[in-house]
Amino acid sequence: MAKAVFHGEFHYSSRIRNAGWSVYPSPEPQYFPRELIDAAVAAGRATEVLPNASSSASRAGTGRKKAE
């Protein structure tokens, strides 16, 4: 799932699954499938919110370390 801040109302029908979404503007980031976020950004109705580098790095380092 991707997230974006929506600046205007946006309605989208999926091109790959039998689903559709109606999204309404909000100052808070909202999570939706990547295809919807890409379409909303291309239409100028949303700004994508990229993941924080620190949260991505912390998820990458969550595995257990071997005992030495």
pLDDT tens across 29-38, in order? 999 999 999 9
Give the C-alpha separation, 4 to 32, whole Å. Answer: 8
The predicted pLDDT at position 67 comes to 59
Q: What is the pLDDT of residues 36-58, one digit of tens each?
A: 999 999 999 999 999 886 655 55
pLDDT, averaged across the chain: 86
Average pLDDT over residues 15-34: 96
Evaluate whether 11 touches 21 at the Cβ level (below 8 Å).
yes
Chain Cα centroid distance, residue 2: 2
Question: What does the pLDDT read at residue 52?
Answer: 81
Section 1-23 average pLDDT: 95
